[in-house]
Structure 1
Amino acid sequence: MRKRFFRNSSLCLFVLFFCCASALSAEKYFASDTGAFSLWWCLPFGLVLCSLAFFPLILPNIWHPHYGKIVSFYTLGILLPLLSLKGGYDTLSMVTGIMVHHYCPFLLLIAALYITAGGIEINIRASPSAKINTLVLGIATFVAGWIGTTGAAMLFIRPFLALNKDRLCRQHLVIFFIVLVGNVGGGLTPLGDPPLFLGYLEGVNFFWPLKMLTLPILFLAVPLLIIFYLWDRQYQEPLAKRERISFKVCGYENMLYIGGIILLILITSLWKSKMSLDFLGTSWSLEDFVRDAGLFFIACMSYFKTNPLPRKANNFRWSPLREVAILFAAIFITVAPVLEMLKAGNQGPFHQWLSLVHKADGTPSAPLYFWATGLLSSFLDNAPTYLVFFNMAGGDAALLMTTLEPILLAISAGAVFMGALTYIGNAPNFMIKAIAESHDIGMPSFFGYALRVFLLLFPLFGIMTFLFF
């Protein structure tokens, strides 16, 4: 009882701190003092990412019950020095700019898609065959681009495994599901994968991923589905009796809510009003307010007004969303100085690192951005990795969608696609693995999975580099 009280009190104090921090904007501090930052300011951000990547593997008993305290400690490594150097006004200004313009929209979208998708239950009854499995995998891959990789994984993984529950060889089903549904399919829209939504918040057009990433997605998805079909066919056991295919969906009303989310994001991306709320230096535009309030309203309506039975069938839990909320609060706070130093370009402390992804004449190299973003995304979370390289390329969305469009394509493709290379490259990967193991499917070790997927994807990524970058 005492431990639970301490844990809940710590969480409440943590949330209260960030609520009280909602006062001002970050731009004033960083605009004039970028040069004051040194590489030491990167340490808390690096510790957050390294802890997120490796603690669940090497110290799971410490990480899972205490991850909130651990990342709070790292966050204080940024906030306390700022408080002592600049005082409360500028520190609160930095935190509010991050919360209002990046963290809250990001979290509200993740929550809305997670809650609405969790209210839909899919039941598939059919004789397990390579054709049916490939069809389900292809549909789930497409859906992931519109409801998010986490939402699609939550929606399809259980019926996909239930469809094949009597088969002896099922490990390959989960591996291809992680690659296609948990990663590749998320590149269609900003709703599909967190990195692309962060790009949308930075000013990238809503339809830009659909226009630029559709061909790369098809280039990966079609060969992978063909490989999966041939592979699955080899392990297909003969059936004494074939069952007629039937498809049942419960929670139809949540599909309307998902459509409402897509429409809301689309409308607010096209709507440019002149009205804004200015509070102590923080500007909150009318369209941003409508978007955030609308996402919150849709999430509440879906959870409280729809049938709860599909969520029970899907084993809906709040813990993944709570973990995202806490971890990304720390990520967004600690990454802020890093992004500002990157925006300084060759005048900032990262000038030597910039040469690693630029040609000898100083121009950015799309292949280098693709592989650097991708390989880092595979071992760190792909959302902050995308932000780092987006700002390393200048951080100007208008320029990146025109003159530097190949660079933005390389960053986006690397972050979305190469998150599949390890269990920790993208949030759904570990969730899919855990669900598969709960269905008595023996999954490869961390490095065993990474080796299998690297051998599967490396040739495709190599060809993609020559074709698209």
Structure 2
Amino acid sequence: MQVQWWSIIPFVTLLACIAVLPLVPATAHAWERNRLKLTVALLLGVPIAVWFIAAGAGMEVVHALVEYGQFIILLLALFVVSGGIFLSGDIRATPRNNTIFLAIGGVIASFIGTTGAAMLLIRPLLNTNSERNHKSHTVVFTTFVVANCGGLLTPLGDPPLFLGMLRGVPFEWTLTLFPQWLFVNLLLLATYYGLDRRAYAAETPEAIASDESQRSPLGLRGAVNVVFFAMIIAAVAFAPSLDLHAIETGHAAWHQFVPWRELVMLAAGAMSYFLGDRVARFELNQFSWTPILEVAALFIGIFLTMIPALNFLGQIADRLPLNRITVFIFTGGISGVLDNAPTYATFFEIASRLPGEPRVADVPEVLLTSVALGAVLGGALTYIGNGPNFMVKSVADAAGVETPSFGGYVVRSLTYLVPVFAAMALIFLTDAWLWRGLGIAIAAALLLRAALLARRHR
């Protein structure tokens, strides 16, 4: 369906509400209520759905709602299961220990998903740092590393890569992104370590003494939820969902109408909730539905209002200067504001029309690499770029930890993420040694900055 530029106004309006309303004193308190978020999302999204249905493009709305349902069910299942696991104990909240926490999260994110890893680690990380006064940066870098950049290695790690697997990308292909994954995450961890050294030095003696005195060995409660995690991972990897293509063409068998994957996920979440350790969930983790309800309320509007935005993007694609670098920039930048899964799907289709060998799933491999890197890494640029981002913020807010506003988070992503992404793109996505040398120089400057921060505040 052909659309005009003004059709993206509802989407831009929703973004503006998310960014501005929490900062305006007159609306800040009201915006905390998920009912208001849902009302705004529906007021902006439903007219789009009605317009497309009336124009004969109702299947685009169906596709958006199905993808929204799949998206929310995956997040819901991982949220519920991770909420039943409690890492007990209290280790020292030193920069070294915090960095190790994030590094572990960055590794497991590719295997239990960025949502699962983020929800599993954010609570014990907050508990460990509960005696410290300066911990907002820890929440931000948990979002950077665990909720996004760590999930680059397998289709289980991040929804965009899962969409790629459904489109024919081999399961193991994403392992070829290991050098980029290692480069980005090591630079981010080095930066975090330097920042946390500075923050640790600014703590009061009372806070440090309290942290030192309240230590206990680490332990795990709710270990049965590991089985439910395995169920979700197996469902993502092997279980089919609705086959919309077969349904649309009238060739669907009865089992293609059944969302098997989502049913297994819901079953895993239900068993975790009703059969798991209730003390771990409700007393220790202080489990609340608020984070997932906030994501569900906002993203129904995002998925609906971005239908014309993605259509408009497809219309102007042939006018875009597309190569390895620009595909990475467009995919990453748009993923930050349109959610990275549908952005991946859009640029995957655009790249499939371009020439180039060798090809993977009928996409030039060099462009597929750019699309995958852009979608996964770009999802960290804003709170709405990837589902777990808002969930991490919401859990931290519920724990009484001050977190950046929408605009404040973007400032931090521009400060700490974008230079890392620029260095990675210049080194891995270009052939000219001049550009690679510039990327190496940027990486060296970032490491020097981290070292100076750590040294200055030793």
CA contact (8 A) 2:168 2:361 kept: no
Q: Is 1:148 paired with 2:113?
A: yes
Among candidates 37, 40, 45, match of residue 70 of structure 1: 40
Q: Is 1:306 paired with 2:266?
A: no
Q: Is 1:105 paired with 2:65?
A: no
Q: Which residue does 2:295 correspond to in 1?
A: 324
Among candidates 232, 236, 243, match of residue 265 of structure 1: 236
CA contact (8 A) 2:122 2:392 kept: yes
Q: Which residue does 2:188 correspond to in 1?
A: 224
Q: Distance in 2 between matches of 1:148 and 1:72?
A: 28
Q: CA deviation at 1:332?
A: 3.6
CA contact (8 A) 2:112 2:229 kept: yes
Q: Distance in 2 between matches of 1:454 and 1:279?
A: 42
> Deviation per CA, 1:389-423, whole angstroms, max 9, x where unpaired?
33443589x96645422223222222322333344
Q: Distance in 2 between matches of 1:177 and 1:214?
A: 20
Q: Which residue does 1:215 correspond to in 2?
A: 179
Q: How do 1:171-182 and structure 2 match up within 5 A?
A: 171-182=136-147
Matched AA of 1:76: V
Residues 114 and 438 of structure 1, relative CA distance in 2, 3 Å threshold: closer
Q: How do 1:13-24 and structure 2 match up within 5 A?
A: none
Q: How do 1:186-197 and structure 2 match up within 5 A?
A: 186-197=151-162
CA contact (8 A) 1:53 1:381 kept: no
Matched AA of 2:126: L
Q: Distance in 2 between matches of 1:193 and 1:229?
A: 25
Q: Which residue does 2:104 correspond to in 1?
A: 139
TM-score scaled by structure 1?
0.74
Among candidates 148, 159, 163, match of residue 183 of structure 1: 148
Q: CA deviation at 1:218?
A: 0.9
CA contact (8 A) 1:98 1:332 kept: yes
**SS state at 2:161 partner:** helix
Query: What number of residue pairs does the alignment pair up?
Result: 412
CA contact (8 A) 1:120 1:251 kept: yes
Q: Distance in 1 between matches of 2:183 and 2:396?
A: 27
**SS state at 1:421 partner:** coil
Q: CA deviation at 1:193?
A: 2.8
Q: How do 1:281-296 and structure 2 match up within 5 A?
A: 281=250, 283=252, 286=255, 289-296=259-266
Q: How do 1:85-104 and structure 2 match up within 5 A?
A: 85-86=55-56, 91=58, 93-100=59-66, 102-104=67-69
**SS state at 2:288 partner:** coil
Higher relative contact order (CA 8 A, sep 6+): 2
> Deviation per CA, 1:221-269, whole angstroms, max 9, x where unpaired?
1222233334434535787768876221111111111111112222237
Q: CA deviation at 1:120?
A: 0.9
CA contact (8 A) 2:348 2:363 kept: no
Residues 339 and 429 of structure 1, relative CA distance in 2, 3 Å threshold: closer
Q: Distance in 2 between matches of 1:68 and 1:76?
A: 11
Alignment root-mean-square deviation, CA: 3.7
**SS state at 2:379 partner:** helix
Among candidates 410, 419, 440, match of residue 450 of structure 1: 410
Structure 2: state its 5+ residue gaps.
Answer: 430-458
Q: CA deviation at 1:134?
A: 1.9
Q: Distance in 1 between matches of 2:405 and 2:300?
A: 30
Q: Which residue does 2:227 correspond to in 1?
A: 256
Residues 317 and 392 of structure 1, relative CA distance in 2, 3 Å threshold: farther
CA contact (8 A) 2:46 2:304 kept: no
Residues 330 and 458 of structure 1, relative CA distance in 2, 3 Å threshold: closer
> Deviation per CA, 1:310-336, whole angstroms, max 9, x where unpaired?
221323222333343444444444444
CA contact (8 A) 1:42 1:338 kept: yes
Query: After alignment, is 288-297 or 433-442 more displaced?
Result: 433-442
Residues 321 and 459 of structure 1, relative CA distance in 2, 3 Å threshold: closer
Q: Is 1:417 paired with 2:388?
A: no
Matched AA of 2:279: L
**SS state at 1:246 partner:** strand
Residues 365 and 304 of structure 1, relative CA distance in 2, 3 Å threshold: same
Query: After alignment, is 426-435 or 408-417 more displaced?
Result: 426-435
